[in-house]
Structure formats: C-alpha cells, structure tokens
Structure 1
Amino acid sequence: MSTPDLSQMSMLDLFRFEAESQIAQLNASLLALEQQPTAADHLEACMRAGHSLKGAARIVGLEPAVKVAHVLEDCFVLAQQGRLLLQKKHIDVLLRGADLLARIAAPPDGDEAWADHAGSAEVQAFLVALPSVMSGGDAAPWPAATSAATSAPAPAAAEPVVAAAAQLPEPELAEPAPVPAAPVAGAHLANASGARAVRVSADSLDRLLGLTGESLVESRQLKPFSASMLRMKRTQREAMQALDLLQQKLATTQLDEFAQTAFAELRTLMQQNQQLLGEQLSALDAFDRRSVNLSQRLYDEALACRMRPFADGTAGLARMVRDVGNTLGKSVRLDIVGNTTQIDRDILEKLEAPIGHLLRNAVDHGIESSAQRRAAGKPEQGVIRLEARHSAGMLLIEVADDGAGIDIEQVRSAVVARGLSNQETAERLSEAELLEFLLLPSFSLRDTVTEISGRGVGLDVVADMLKQVRGTIRITTQAGQGSRFLMQLPLTLSVIRSLLVDIAGEPYAFPLAYVNRTLRLPAEALQTLEGYQHFSHGGRQVGLVSAHQVLQKGQWRSRDGSVCVVVIGEQEHTYGLAVDAFLGERMLVVQPLDPRLGKIADVLAGALMEDGTPLLILDVADMLRTVEKLTSSGRLQTVDQDGAAPTTTAARKKVLVVDDSLTVRELERKLLTNRGYQVTVAVDGMDGWNAVRADSFDLVITDIDMPRMDGIELVSLIRGAANLQSLPVMIVSYKDREEDRQRGLEAGADHYFTKSSFHDESLLQAVTDLIGEAT
C-alpha cells in the first residue's frame, strides 16, 4: 500500500498518523509496567505519549480525546511521584483508555462524530472508571463498543467525573503545556535510539532497488572501456618503438632537413600523445573505482531498506496475548527475543497471521490455568517465548510455551475419531507424524467451539504461509514442560546470497543457504561403487552426480585432472553436484519468472549479474528430488575419467510414487522395486506434476495431503492434460476420510487405498490389475 504525501494531509489525518505510533508506544510501555510497576523509563514513555496525544488532539479539536488523555496523564503523574503503585486493575483500565483513543482517532465506520455521539458512553465510562480505580475502588462494568449506526447520542455527564476526580490527591506538578506542532510529529517518527524514520511505500522501494541495480550494472560498463583504452596505450607504445627502429635504420642515410624535422616532430607528438593517454587512463581508472564503489554502496543501502527489524511485526502481540489470557482467565506473559533481527519486509508481512495463530493457540491450548500451574509447582503466570534469529542463512521463528504440552494420545484418538486414519495405522504413527495432523484444516482437539478455538482454523494458516514461501515447521512437545513450534524460512524473498557456477558454458546460481561445501577434487579421488561415482567427504561416501544431467545440459567430463563439486543435502540424502567451474559469490536480486511458464523443474527464479548477463537461480530442493528420482529409477549416468560416453541402467515399466513422507515413499518404492517395476519418486504434488510432464510413466501413485500441491490437484491436472488422460492414477492415503475418497474418485483416480493396506498384497495386486506385470 502506498503512503500518503504528508504535505497534502489534513490536520486530522496528521493526528491519526501520529496517534498510531503514540498508542503503540503506550500499549508497549503499559505492558512493561505490569511487570515492573515502578520502571521510570516506561512511566516517562507513557507520560510523553499521553502528553503528545492530548496536545495534538487539542489542536484538531477532538475534545473527547483531550479528556481521555488528560486523565491518563493524571494517573501517570501520580505513579511517577510514587503516590500510586500501578497494579493489574490499573493497567486493565489504562489499556482500555489506549483502545478508546485509537477508536476516537480512527472511529468505526469512518464516523467523524463517533466520540461525540455513539462513543460518548464509552468516553464517559472511562472518565469515571480510571479515577475510581486510582482512588482504590473497582472499575465499573465496561460498556460494549458501539457504532454510530446503532447507538443514539449519549447525554453529557461531567458531574460524576468531577466528583470522582476530586477524591484524588492533588498532583504537585503543574499541567504540562500542550504540544504546539502535531504535523511535525506526524511526519517523522522516532525510534528508541533517537533515529528518525519516514514511511515509504513498498512500490517506491521496489523501484528504487530496480534503479540501483541498473546503476550498478551500468557502472560495470566502464571496465571493458578502460581495458580497450589500455590496449590503445599498448598499441601507441608499440608504434613508438617502431618509429625508433625506423629512425635507427635511417640513421645511415643522409636525410634532408625537412625529413629530420618531420621525424623529430612526429616523435614529440607521439610522446605527448602517449603521456596524455596514460594520464586519461589513470583518471578513468580512478573514476571507475569511485563509480563502482558508489553504485555498490547505493545498491547495498537500497537492499538494506527492504529489511526491517522483527520489532516492526511484533507490535501489539504482547497486548493480544495478555487480552486472550484474561478472556480465558489465565495470567500469561509474552517474552520477545530478537526484536532487532533483520527480516525482509515481504516475509515479515506474511508472518503476521501465522504468529498470531500460534500465540493464541499457545495461550488457549498450551498454558494451564493458575490452579493447575500451582498444583504442578509452576509459577502462576505462564510464559510464551517468541524468538527470531538467523541461522545458517535461514530465518528461524520460534514460538514456545511452558505449559502442559500436547497430549500425544489425545491427538491419536482425535485422528481416529475424526476418521483420518484407522486405529491400527494410528498406533504405528510416530510422534512427529501425529503432530503433523495439527496442521490439517478443520483439525482441532476441542469438542466445543469458543471465540478462541474449536473451529480447526489456525495452524493450517501457518502451514499455508510456509507453503507459499517454501518454509518448514517442526513441532516438538514435552509432557508437563510445554510445546515448541519452530518455523524455518528464507531470509528474504527478494535478495539472495549465491554461489555462481559454470555449467555447460552458462552461469547458474546456488543459494548459499543450501550449499554445504564446495570442493575441488582430483580425478583420482573419485571411486565407482555399484556403478555410481562417489567420493569421500566428512568420513562418509557421498554420491557424485553431474549437474549437466540434472539440468539436461550436455555431459560432464573431468577437466584438467580435477572436478568442481557443490555438496548439497543433509544426512543420508547428501550429494555432490559436478560443475564445470566456480565463478565466485554474489548478492543477487531475485527476478521472478513469468507466471505463464509455471513451475520450471530445478529452477527457482532468475537474476542479473553485475555486467547485465542473465542467469538462473537453482532450486536446490528440486534438484535433490531430481537426483533421488534418477538414483531410484536407475537412470543416473556415470562418466569415466577419460571422458567415455555415459552409461545408463536398463528400464522396465515405470511407476511414479508421489508422497511427502520419506517412510511411506521408501516403503512403496521397495515394494514395487522388489516386484520388478522401475520406480521414480516425487516428494509432493508439484514435484509429481513436473515429473509426469517431463517423462512418461505407466502408473502414478499419490498421497493426498502434501505441501505445494495436494494429490487431488495433481489428479485433476493429469486428467485435464490431453496427453495424460489415459495415465492410470492410484491414491494411497493413511488419512482415511470419506470426503477425500469421494473427491479423489471424482477427480479421476482409478483406485483409492488406505496405507493400512500395506501389510498385505492388495496394493501390489491393484498395480498389477491396472498396468500388468513389471515386464
């Protein structure tokens, strides 16, 4: 969303602009005061926020806001003087006041007179409630929020407010003077370090980044021009040497005076020209260095502008956790770690909803009641920890609580009760597999629906966001100690640090976050085991795969007696990709490919090198899947060190197995391979769709619930493709849901199985019925 021009905003708009920042500061400081009631810095921050809001509201004529801010100030003055110790009941009412100021600044339905009419009851109630609580009483019941469309104007009631305020001790400090210049405060916001910040639209930042990228590319054009001038200088020197040689040859010949003068003048001119060329070349080199340095700095600053501190996305979360806890009768505190962690603004915007769901889930499902915590020997106040940090080139977001943990047996029972799997299969599922059910739509451990939970909407939102940005989530729990949700995401969707390599004469980029190691191996370090090439790395044998075969770009052969290898993957799925050369590291701006191309196998996006040369950024996750498919199907090429032609193993009837569970994938692959079929594996629906478009298969076996593209979508795409309509498709899922069975058959599946059928021959018999024997 673009940001309005502050110079064109009205005074009321400027007040709203300022109020957004000041109220956020007020909320944060009030929550801190609930933990440390006498913290002078937070009291001062509250005082400044209330004072600024009152002065700005007076300038724009919002009298209700002036009154609310004034009683807030009274409370903060007493707290600063030590005559009032802020307790939870005070914080409750003060937070209501902050909410009321927010509604006055941005009234419901855009009704400018909301505070004078429909919201008058709320304003008057607050003006009574806060002085009453400050005097030692309890707050009166808070009226429900009203809107201009449903409520009539409320009569003025100043007398009770005056009477209640009269009971308070008279503050010794005089009332601070109002702020005279709200527009200035609205134009620039100050952070905790005192640095000013201005709001810039996302589109403007994108254009700025594009222009700085072009500037950097253009600045690199001086380098070849400088090189051509250097060649000119060498030519000039050679011409000078040729002239000297000619003069020596003619020394024995009598030349007339005119010829001698011409020779001398020519020699002088060439010397001057050579000196001038040298000076200009030196000046050009100096300008080239300054230009490249300046463009690089400008480019780096523009990239940094895309990054925002994690704190920009956590405003209001602590308040939300507290409010949800109060609603449920629980005392909960949110601790945020890593507020200064830099995150790409696109990632940060996508994190807002998932983090909110995880926090509400932790308060509702994780944190116990005060009585239960006391009985368990825990502090009455539960703690939820939200942390952001960088690790190995990735962004990690962790939400952990110190509650009761997730009851694994309750999850297992819910899976069976909701018809997602039968009892026998559910008993065999591991803890990690059971916890994955929490991410399914409509899955909940609550039998009743409340305002907070029970609808089964929440964690599936987290899974959907991670699916969009190619992130992952890992859930762990410990009975009586709490639960932990760890999200792993790319640091940025726009800028990526990459390793550049040469493959078949073209540059490609590997995201550095997915590169384990780069090696230059002597050819004799390669070994051939069971027909495949390996090398020793980290005390284990790692398979060597040609990047040329993965990308279908010619053939790799060892050169100069050495092999350039990029090591990717982890644990038993670690592979070395042989490339032609390393070209160095670069920071690349990601250029999304045209969406009309769809998902291109093994390619993530495009980018431009510093000299303007386009290149492709490789999708390492896709490449790992491609390597596993080549290996499992016996199509992996081996190359002799002398450059002999590659050899490939024989093939039989081909079956594509699509499943995101490694265990299930391997089980199906082994069953089919032992029966003689040639098996290719895909780890999700998108990978499977790429596979059926790139190769021919006799049968597709797919799961339903998978990231990026589920099995129903895959079946629909296969049946919608003219050249694939006759391809047999079988759905195999351990989530035994009748609606899934119906949807799968309606999409065009030829067979539907549950994974509980693996213990007998029914799966293999169904394969034989559909496509016959392997040979």
Structure 2
Amino acid sequence: MTPEQMRDASLLELFALEAEAQTQVLNAGLLELERNPTQAEQLEACMRAAHSLKGAARIVGVDAGVSVAHVMEDCLVSAQEGRLLLTPEHIDALLHGTDLLMRIASPEGAPTAEDIAAYSVRMTGLLDPSALPPPARPPAPPAPVVEAPAPPASLEPEPEALPETVPGPEPRRAKGAVEGGERVLRVTAERLNSLLDLSSKSLVETQRLKPYLATMQRLKRMQGQSQRALDGLREHLQATQQTDEVYDALTLVQGLLAETQQMLVYQTSELDEFGWQASQRAQLLYDTALACRMRPFADVLGGQGRMVRDLGRSLGKQVRLDIDGEKTQVDRDVLEKLEAPLTHLLRNAVDHGIESPEQRLLAGKPAEGRVLLRAAHQAGLLVLELSDDGGGVDLERLRRSIVERNLSPAETAAQLSEEELLTFLFLPGFSLRDKVTEVSGRGVGLDAVQHMMRQLRGSVVLTQVQGQGSCFHIEVPLTLSVVRSLVVEVGDEAYAFPLAHIEHTLDLPAEDIVQLEGRQHFWYEGRHVGLVAASQLLQRPAGQGGGDSLRVVVIRERDAIYGVAVERFIGERTLVVLPLDARLGKVQDISAGALLDDGSVVLIIDVEDMLRSVEKLLNTGRLERIDRRNQRGVEQARKRVLVVDDSLTVRELQRKLLSHRGYDVAVAVDGMDGWNALRGEDFDLLITDIDMPRMDGIELVTLVRRDSRLQSLPVMVVSYKDREEDRRRGLDAGADYYLAKASFHDDALLDAVVELIGSAQG
C-alpha cells in the first residue's frame, strides 16, 4: 500500500468514526423533533451534527457526503429560523439522509450517484424556495471546489519527512539510535522545549477562531431576518401606493443585502473549513513536538532487574522482577524523576514484602518471589502498579507501632480501618524495622516516595492482602509540559491550582466558619482546618464574592493542610506549562504560566510555596480575616488595629481582647515590622510598646508623625515604664494615649480604644 493510500485510508477511518458519532446525534434529535418540531436545543444539535459532517466530508474529499449534509443543514437552519415547520415528511427525509451519510462513510454499501441526486431532488421539493435566502444556493458550488484533496496533501509530507527531521520511535529509545536503520538527529533539550512551547501556543491560538465563526453565524441569521423584514416592508408600501423611486430604492437595498449575504455565507464556510484544518494541524504539530520528548518506560528500568535480584540474594531471598508495558511512552523529565521513587519501592518490596524461601514454601508459595511492575496509559496519565506476592503488611504489628510511637491513642488505633492504618506508613520517620540495616530501618522511603510523587503532580496509594502481597498504585502525568488544573478567579485574575495538590473543593457556608485562637477555621474530615484568603496570599484586591458561602480550595502537602478562599471556580482545564522568564527569578507562590482557550494568561500556583507563605503569615500574626456573609448581606467593615510588641504574651493578650470586642487586629513583632505594616496597609489605630529591638516605639511614633499619610493616625503607647518622664516622652513623640502595663486591665485598654476610635463597627 502506498503512502497516499495509507493516508486516505486513515482519513476515511476518521470520517467513519465522525459519521458514527454524529449520526447518533441526528437519529436521537430527529426523533425528538418529530414529537416537538420547535425544540430549539434539538434543532441546534442536529444542525451542528449535519454541519460537522459536511466539513468532515469536505476535508476527506467525499463529495456525496458534502451534498447530503448540505441539504440537511439547509432544512434544519430553515426550521431554526422559523421559515419552515418540520413535518413527518421532513423528518423522514432527514432520517433518510442520516442513513445515506452512514452508508457513505462505510467501506461497503456506499450509495450510487443516482441515489444522491434523487435525495437532493426530494429535499429540494420539500423546501419552499421562496423562503430560502437568495444566496443560500451559490455557496454550494464552491464547496466541492474547495480542493478537498488539498488538506490531506498538505498533511501528506509529515509522516514521510518525520524520520529525517523529527525522529519517530527510534530516537526515543535509550541509546537506540541504530535500530530500524532510520536517520537520527541530535537535538538539545532547549530546542525541543522551545518547539513544544511554540506548538502549544499555536494550538491555543487556533481556538480563538471559534468566537469569530460564531459571530459570523449570528450575522448570517440576522441578515436572513433583515431580508424577511424588507419583504414585509415591501408589502406594507404596496398597500400605501408609494412612488416608483421608493420601490427602486427598496429593490436596491434588497439586492445589496442579498449580495452581502451571499458573500457572508461563502466566507463563513471558508472560515469554518480553515479553522478546522488549522486546529487539526496545530494539534498534530503539538503531538509531534510532544512525541519528540517521549521515551519508552524501559529507559528508566536499566539495571533494576539486576538490583532486585542482587538485593534478594543479599537478604537470602529469591526474587525476580517482571515488567509489563516497557514500550509505554513517557516524557523524559518524568522518567528521570521516577527513577528514585521506583528504586525505593522495589527495594521496599524485596525487603519488606517478599518472604524467605522457607516461609514461602510453608505458606504454599513458590520459593521464588515475584515483583511485577506494570506501566500503561490511562486518561492522559501514566499508571504504574508495583505489586509483589509477598506477605503483605502485618496490620496488628502496624497498629502496635502507631500506639508505641504516640501517633494515636490505643482506643483510636483499635478503630482505624485498613486504609487509615496504611497511610501511617507514609509518615516521615516511620518504619516497621526495629533495627537499622543497609537496606531499611531508617524511616525514609515511603514518605520520600509520596513527596516525589507530589512534585510530579501525581499520587501513590498502597493496598494489600495480608499473606498474599501488596500493591502500590501510582498515577503521574505523561508529561510535565501539561498539567491538569482547577482554574479559579482571585481579584479578577485567573489562577490555576494543580489537581495533584488539591484535597477537596467546597462551598463553605458562612456559619461554618469558626474562630479559634483568633484565626478562622472550618471543620473538615474530623479536624479544624485553617482558612486563608487567596487575595492576601497573592496580593490581589479582595473581590466581591456572591451568595452566603465561600468558594474554598483545600490544599495539602504532607501534614500541612489549609483552605484557600477564592472568588469563584472557573473549572478544570488541561494547561500547557509555559516557564517563567529566568530573569524574574523565583516568583512567590507562582510556578509557571499558561494560556487559556481564549488566549488569556493564567498563572499556575506553586502550592508548596503557598503553604510556606501561609506559615509565614501565621508566625508574624499578619493573617487577615475573611469577611463573612450572612443572610442580611455583607458585614459592615470593622475597624483595624495594629498591635506592635516584642512580647508574645502581651501581643496575644491585646489581640484577643480587641478581637473579641469585634476589632480586626494585626500584630507586629517589633517597631521595624510595624513600620513595614503601616506602609503597606491601612489601619484605624496603632498600639505600640516602647522598648523593642531594631526600632523602639518612640522611633516608630516619630516616623508615623513625619509621614503625611499617617499623620492623623491615632496612636496609643502601652509600656511597662510608668514614670512621668516616660509618659511625657511618649506623648511628646506624638502619641495620643499612654497606658502603663502595670495598671493594665481589660476595661482600661478597651475603654481607651473606644475613646480614640469608637466601637469596632461604629
């Protein structure tokens, strides 16, 4: 079979698949329309199915399919625009056309030219020619003349040129540059990354044609409505007996409108075809560029079989490694990062899983243990299963170890399920080995594996059957160039959370937010989880959330878990990762960028970095409260107070007192930290100590009074220094109130605050 024949065969197979899917839509929709001929949703679905089949038939050069789908589309568009009411005769004819399209797509039983011509005549007779817009017919001739064979011809050189410019399977083999006799080129990783970047941008750009095509379709419908309106106007003018000049002008307008509509119909068809071809070529370009980065899974397994065998012998065991799916293609970057965790798991299987030959024989097993590693593609992921036929995990021993390490009370441990017990094996420093050997017992391994899987935006799950073996189920992306993410809106900007780091998403009712130690929490899976605002973390203006609940993304990294409140969920997207310019350095909380389907930019969150940012805000007391909504609407803005004191006890006491009274309180650990806070945020009151490191309270107050923006800010000094000269020194620096800690009590502080700025929401 020649390359041209192979090409045509593959394209016809694609057309057959397209026809099978779209004719199912047509059959279901037409049966619904027979019961209710005016269903807009079904009319739209059937029209789109016929339109898609027309475009697909044109691409593969099947003129018969173009002709049948075209007259079907005209009929459905007429019904959409109200110029035709579908009758049983119309439905019969449309169903007949559906059958013809399926026959056209099948390799045998294709209809004859006479059948196609007879069908066209039948459909023409059912349509009212006067209701059809004048230009509806002219576009028909260009359809077959769009040079249907041209698109395949443009795609034809790709497979032939591939071995010379972009190597096929051979370059992706590990050092296998000679197999098959194909030419192999050496290309740097930077060039491949650049090619993938450009191809991904090209793929996104093709999606921007869709809105233009939709607009032109709307214009086409609007022009049809305008034509009918002019027909009505002519009838109205005839009843009023206007002059010939009026009729001539109206005729001219109708003629111009008909001509423009003819042009619009033709250009819409051309744009539709161009958009389809462009998207197909961009997808092919991206897939080819991505394939250049792919290598067989076997590349990561060099020496692993020998390692398993040698390790088993050193432990007095007989173990073999079987591999299924060696040729599974994976991104080279993913393969490099998989080598270490797979080595951990293989060693773990030999050491912890496989029993000694004597134990295996007593259990009725072969003396030789078996470790099986499977690799396969599934739903855009690389799925790995590493299983052994060993003894599994001794759950009772694991339960005792959990209690001995004070990880859980005995009563709670006794009630843990098998799944819950196995999760303890992934904790840092946890090991079932009592003695440290060269192989294990140091408490590292599974926790490191889980950490590396999360870095790969993947997951690892352990299951086991005691006495029969255990299995690690691993899922990682096929490539790090693409990330499946949840896109959200924060401060009117789009951000993406990688799904691998998302524990859960939820709409959190306002009444479920509780205050613990001055921080906002909510109850999630039996524990209180801290709540933070994405707008503060990302330094975006807080948006106006809608309704009485918060949209919350629960993120986790090992034991750290927080809920991040966002404005709204946009949805899941598969994003092509675009690295940030190296000149920017490390951007806080951001790992990379990407483009959405409409061409807009989205930033991808670095979840690990974001969790560190949360901890930093907590440690400095700068975490802001999230305004909650209730049934009466948004809470009235609360007055903000900044407490500056180097004593943790005093700082927390003042914060709790003021928070319980309803004030929004932020804290700073010394004068310098307080000055930075004042310059970056707005406050209604400053409460400061005097003796502090880096910058004392007097210096802080002096700076405040010299700043034009802060000159009117009320300032209260709270100090252990109770002498008159100390009081005078504070007031002279610009403080409005001086309170001695020796006489400090709840009412004195709160009364002074109310005197200076009023109540929290006054």
TM-score normalised by the chain length of structure 2? 0.46
TM-score normalised by the chain length of structure 1? 0.45
